[in-house]
Amino acid sequence: MGGSRRRVLIASLGGVAGVVVAACGGEAAPAATTAPAAATRAPAAPTAAPVVQPTVAPTSVPVKASIAGPVWILDHPLQLPVRKALETRVAAFEKAFPGAKVEYEGVVEPNDNQEKFQILLAAGTMPDASVTHTGFMQQWPHFIDHKPYLAKDREVKAEDYFPTIFKAFDVPVGSGTRQIGLPREVHATVLYYARNAVAAAGLKEPSKDWTHLEFVDWALKLTAWKENPQESKWAIHNATGLGGASMGLPMFWQFGAEFFSPDGKTCIIDQAEPRQALEFLIDFVRKHHVTPSPAEQAASGLTGSQQAMFASGRFRAYASNQNTAPVGTNAVPFEWDIQLLPQVPGKKRATRMAGNAYGVITNGKNKNPDLAWELVKAFVGEEGSIAQMQGGNFMAHKKATEKWPETRAPAKNGRVVFEAMEGYARLEHRPKGWDKAMVPINREWAKVLNGEQSLGGLISIAKPEADQILKVEQSLG
């Protein structure tokens, strides 16, 4: 692939004309949502701040003259407005660095860049820069450590970004850690709710300090459960999952529970806190009926996006990333708002975090790490981050997201997201093999929610499987 690569002009993206940029491989990837973060197309609302003019400030790090030439960057699928925003950044970058040509390569939805990354790695033709994700651990050793650049660059500082997501990309590689990239976006799980349904039930809108028991009382009054799933109305969608942007994972943590021991050698779902957390979530489905079981969800007749199911009125709330706000093309026919997830008093608050970052590859095609660093800065420095926030509500750079709540109209509580980002958004505890060890837990969990398995049965089956997986994975070194 490396020797036969050629530049082509991206004349259109999904049928929409775009800025002319240099790309590679002869493929113009259609614009798409960001798969790992479950992003949706949500163009900025009319209240959004004026679009920032695409400029690239002169670099504060010496850049060698020999770097002129192509810079190849691999990306994820992107919302069309964000893709167009990045194209303006490319044009400004090429103007600021004469002779530099950006080869931009995206990936088609519903995929992410994991498969493409592995193909390029096997072929020995890696890009100069790429976007990676908090979940793509197999990619991390292939990114340089950006700490030396950060130490001498006067334009980019760690404190410019939400500390939780910046630290999330300071990852273990070998015997140390590397800052493998600058954050492009960060997502925390929050609750969306229908204000009209809350008012009709005679309820107060939730406060940011509400408790897990207050949530149950609130949800019960918003539910009209029926034996026939096609006739049911539930309080909340996406409430019991143990991964992704579900409410279940943060609630599990907020009971003080973890899936694995601190040393990563043992599955600990048989301990008191995990049992208590799982029992609380089971009651959502089997006792209170405030959210559907997997079987009920499949039989409900509801399909499409979370926003579409929310708009139907059969879910009065849903848990998801803050970038799935139902604005623009996801508009719903009623007023809605955002709130933090309920907390368990006396326990450490938590919400699940995920995100992407752009970084420089160790063995890029053109061996231009300095120029690749400048391109990363152009994409996710202050101005690039503002452009992406306005185009598709990506947030990571703190100053860039000051106007974010205004673009999420009609939500009045948008700023609560910043509180989670600043303080207690977190990643999963990820010992070696954690992703494989979660498979039997999730498999048996679905059976429990469907009434096909007891919690004791889940523990007796999933724990030994997970323990064995952890043992094998750690033995591999």
Instruction: Based on the fold, state whether residues 205 and 173 are members of the same structural domain.
Output: no
Alpha-carbon distance 167 to 155, whole Å?
18
Instruction: Based on the fold, state whether residues 154 and 195 are members of the same structural domain.
Output: no
In a domain, 308, yes or no: yes
In a domain, 435, yes or no: no
Give the model's pLDDT for residue 57: 54
Q: Which of 296, 331, 352 is the last residue of a domain?
A: 352
pLDDT surpasses 90 at 17: no
What kind and span of H or E run contains 7?
A: strand 7-9
pLDDT surpasses 70 at 66: no
Q: Which residues contact 393 (CB under 8 A, 6 or more apart)?
A: 42, 44, 322, 323, 325, 404, 407, 408
Residue 13 binned pLDDT confidence (cut-offs 50, 70, 90): very low
Residue 74 binned pLDDT confidence (cut-offs 50, 70, 90): very high
Instruction: Based on the fold, state whether residues 358 and 297 are members of the same structural domain.
Output: no
Instruction: Based on the fold, state whether residues 287 and 405 are members of the same structural domain.
Output: no
Residue 309 binned pLDDT confidence (cut-offs 50, 70, 90): very high
Closest CA to 343 of 214, 220, 210, 205: 210
Give the model's pLDDT for residue 335: 94
Tell me the pLDDT tens digit for each residue of 421-467.
Answer: 988 999 999 998 999 999 999 999 999 999 999 999 999 999 999 99
Q: Which of 296, 330, 352 is the last residue of a domain?
A: 352
**377-401: average pLDDT:** 89
* Contact of 427 with 434, CB cutoff 8 Å: no
**113-132: average pLDDT:** 92
More confident call, 108 vs 269: 269
Residue 28 binned pLDDT confidence (cut-offs 50, 70, 90): very low
Alpha-carbon distance 281 to 212, whole Å?
11
Please tell me the total count of domains within the chain.
2
pLDDT surpasses 80 at 55: no
Instruction: Based on the fold, state whether residues 155 and 202 are members of the same structural domain.
Output: no
Give the model's pLDDT for residue 377: 94
**306-320: average pLDDT:** 97
Give the total residue count for the chain: 477
Residue 363 binned pLDDT confidence (cut-offs 50, 70, 90): confident
**128-132: average pLDDT:** 95
**334-355: average pLDDT:** 95
pLDDT surpasses 90 at 45: no
Residue 63 binned pLDDT confidence (cut-offs 50, 70, 90): low
Give the model's pLDDT for residue 5: 36
Instruction: Based on the fold, state whether residues 391 and 295 are members of the same structural domain.
Output: no
Instruction: Based on the fold, state whether residues 410 and 328 are members of the same structural domain.
Output: no
**46-58: average pLDDT:** 44
In a domain, 88, yes or no: yes
Report the mean per-residue pLDDT for the chain: 85
Could you tell me where the beta strands, DSSP code E, fall in 111-235? Answer: 129-133, 170-173, 176-179, 182-194
Residue 400 binned pLDDT confidence (cut-offs 50, 70, 90): confident
Q: Which of 314, 336, 352 is the last residue of a domain?
A: 352
More confident call, 434 vs 50: 434
What secondary structure letter does DSSP report for 55?
Answer: -
Alpha-carbon distance 377 to 170, whole Å?
17
In a domain, 433, yes or no: no
**46-55: average pLDDT:** 41
Give the model's pLDDT for residue 404: 82
Lowest mean pLDDT, pick from 18-22, 209-213, 217-221: 18-22
Instruction: Based on the fold, state whether residues 291 and 358 are members of the same structural domain.
Output: no
**405-413: average pLDDT:** 82
**67-95: average pLDDT:** 87
Instruction: Based on the fold, state whether residues 259 and 147 are members of the same structural domain.
Output: no
0.85 surpassed by pTM: no
**247-252: average pLDDT:** 98
Give the model's pLDDT for residue 56: 63
In a domain, 418, yes or no: yes
More confident call, 313 vs 37: 313
Alpha-carbon distance 159 to 225, whole Å?
47
Instruction: Based on the fold, state whether residues 315 and 401 are members of the same structural domain.
Output: no
In a domain, 436, yes or no: no
In a domain, 19, yes or no: yes
63: containing domain: 7-187+354-424
In a domain, 469, yes or no: no
Instruction: Based on the fold, state whether residues 338 and 365 are members of the same structural domain.
Output: no
Q: What CATH number should be reported for the domain holding residue 249? A: 3.40.190.10
What are the structure tokens assigned to 377, written together?
């800065």
* Contact of 391 with 43, CB cutoff 8 Å: yes
Half-sphere exposure of 461 (CA within 13 A, CB side): 15
Give the model's pLDDT for residue 145: 95
Instruction: Based on the fold, state whether residues 87 and 134 are members of the same structural domain.
Output: yes
pLDDT surpasses 90 at 393: no
Q: Which residues contact 392 (CB under 8 A, 6 or more apart)?
A: 39, 41, 42, 43, 44, 78, 79, 81, 82, 85, 323
Give the model's pLDDT for residue 15: 26
Give the model's pLDDT for residue 4: 33
Rg (CA), the chain: 23
